[in-house]
Chains A and B, each alone.
Chain A
Amino acid sequence: MATSPKSAISIALDKTILGGRRTHWSAGPPLPLVAASFVVAIGILLPLVYLILRAAGAGDELWRLLLRTRTAVILFNSVALASAVTLSTIVLAVPLAWLVVRSDLPLRRLWTGLLIVPLAVPSYVGGFVLIGALGPRGMLQSVLEPLGVDRLPAIYGFPGAWLALTLFTYPYVFLVVRAALQGMDYTLEEASRSLGHNNWSTFRRVTLPQLRPAIAAGGLLVALYTLSDFGAVSLLQFDSFTRVIYVHYQGSFDRHLAAGLALVLVFMTLMILVLEHWSRGRARYHSGNNPGLRPLRRMPLGKWRVPAILLCGSVALFALVMPAATVGYWLVRSVSHTASFTALPGLAWNSLWVSAAAGFAAVVLALPIAYLTVRFPRRLIKPFEYVIYLGYGLPGIVIALSLVFFGANVAPIIYQTFFILIAAYLIRFLPQAYGNVRTSLLQVDPSLEEASRNLGRSWHATLRAVTLPLARGGATAGGILVFVTTLKELPITLLLGPIGFKTLATEVWTATAEGFFAEAAPTIFVLLAISMLPTLLFAGKEP
Chain B
Amino acid sequence: MLVNRRTLLKASLALLPVVVGAACGRAVVSPSETAATSVGEPSSLTVYSGRNENLVGPLLEQFGKDTGIAIQVKYGGTAEIAATILEEGANSPADVFYAQDAGALGALLAENRLSALPDAILNAVEPRFRSPQGQWVGTSGRARVVVYNTEDVKPADLPASILDFVAPEWKGRIGWAPTNGSFQAFITAMRVKLGEDQTRAWLNGIKANEPKVYPKNTPTVQAAVDGEIAVGFVNHYYLFRIRAEQGNVPAENYFPPNGDLGSLINVAGAGVIAGSQNQAAAEQFVAFLLSQQAQEYFATETYEYPLAHGVAAHPDLPELATIQTPDIDLSDLADLRGTLQLLQEVELI
| A376 interface residue per 8 A CB criterion | no
B80 close to A494 (CB less than 8 A): yes
Beyond A495-B74, A515-B245, A519-B54, 15 additional contacts (C-beta under 8 Å) are A137-B226, A251-B336, A254-B337, A255-B87, A335-B246, A338-B4, A341-B2, A401-B80, A409-B91, A415-B91, A495-B84, A499-B46, A499-B72, A510-B53, A515-B242
A side interface size, CB within 8 A: 60
**Stretch with Cβ within 8 A of B (4 or more), from A25-33, A128-136, A195-203, A349-357:** A128-136
Chain A residue at smallest Cβ distance from B57: A510
A514 close to B245 (CB less than 8 A): no
A494 close to B76 (CB less than 8 A): yes
**Stretch with Cβ within 8 A of A (4 or more), from B34-42, B211-219, B255-263:** B211-219
Q: How many A-B residue contacts, CB cutoff 8 Å?
A: 169
B8 close to A338 (CB less than 8 A): yes
| A52 interface residue per 8 A CB criterion | no
| A318 interface residue per 8 A CB criterion | no
Interface of B is mostly: helix
- Residues in A504-543 with C-beta less than 8 Å from chain B: 506, 510-519
Interface string of A397-423 (1 = CB under 8 A from B): 100110011001100100110000000
A237 close to B218 (CB less than 8 A): no
List residues of chain B with CB within 8 A of the CB of A68.
344
Q: What's the least CB distance linking B187 to chain A, in Å?
A: 11
Complexed CA–CA distance, A409 and B242 (Å): 42
Complexed CA–CA distance, A137 and B218 (Å): 16
Question: Are A70 and B2 CB-contacts (below 8 A) given A335-B246, A416-B93, A494-B76?
Answer: no
B181 close to A515 (CB less than 8 A): no
| A247 interface residue per 8 A CB criterion | yes
Complexed CA–CA distance, A203 and B187 (Å): 59
Q: What's the least CB distance linking A289 to chain B, in Å?
A: 52
Complexed CA–CA distance, A372 and B219 (Å): 48
| A5 interface residue per 8 A CB criterion | no
A408 close to B88 (CB less than 8 A): yes
A338 close to B181 (CB less than 8 A): no
List residues of chain A with CB within 8 A of the CB of B2.
337-341
A247 close to B179 (CB less than 8 A): yes
Chain A residue at smallest Cβ distance from B215: A234
Chain B residue at smallest Cβ distance from A412: B91
List residues of chain A with CB within 8 A of the CB of B228.
135-137
Question: Are A253 and B218 CB-contacts (below 8 A) given A137-B228, A517-B245?
Answer: no
B89 close to A255 (CB less than 8 A): no
Interface string of A372-408 (1 = CB under 8 A from B): 0000000000000000000000000100110011001
| A111 interface residue per 8 A CB criterion | no
| A491 interface residue per 8 A CB criterion | yes
Question: Are A335 and B245 CB-contacts (below 8 A) given A234-B215, A401-B84, A515-B221?
Answer: yes
B349 close to A516 (CB less than 8 A): no
B333 close to A338 (CB less than 8 A): no
Q: What's the least CB distance linking B259 to chain A, in Å?
A: 26
B54 close to A250 (CB less than 8 A): no
| A3 interface residue per 8 A CB criterion | no
B80 close to A249 (CB less than 8 A): yes
| B193 interface residue per 8 A CB criterion | no
Complexed CA–CA distance, A409 and B86 (Å): 11
| A336 interface residue per 8 A CB criterion | yes
A518 close to B245 (CB less than 8 A): yes
Q: What's the least CB distance linking A2 to chain B, in Å?
A: 77
List residues of chain B with CB within 8 A of the CB of A415.
91, 93
Q: What's the least CB distance linking A57 to chain B, in Å?
A: 11
List residues of chain A with CB within 8 A of the CB of B181.
250-251
List residues of chain B with CB within 8 A of the CB of A491.
76, 80
Task: Write 13 A-B pairs (CB below 8 A) sorted by A numbering.
Answer: A249-B79, A250-B80, A251-B349, A252-B336, A253-B336, A333-B245, A335-B246, A408-B93, A491-B80, A494-B75, A514-B55, A514-B218, A516-B54
| A235 interface residue per 8 A CB criterion | yes
List residues of chain A with CB within 8 A of the CB of B340.
251-252
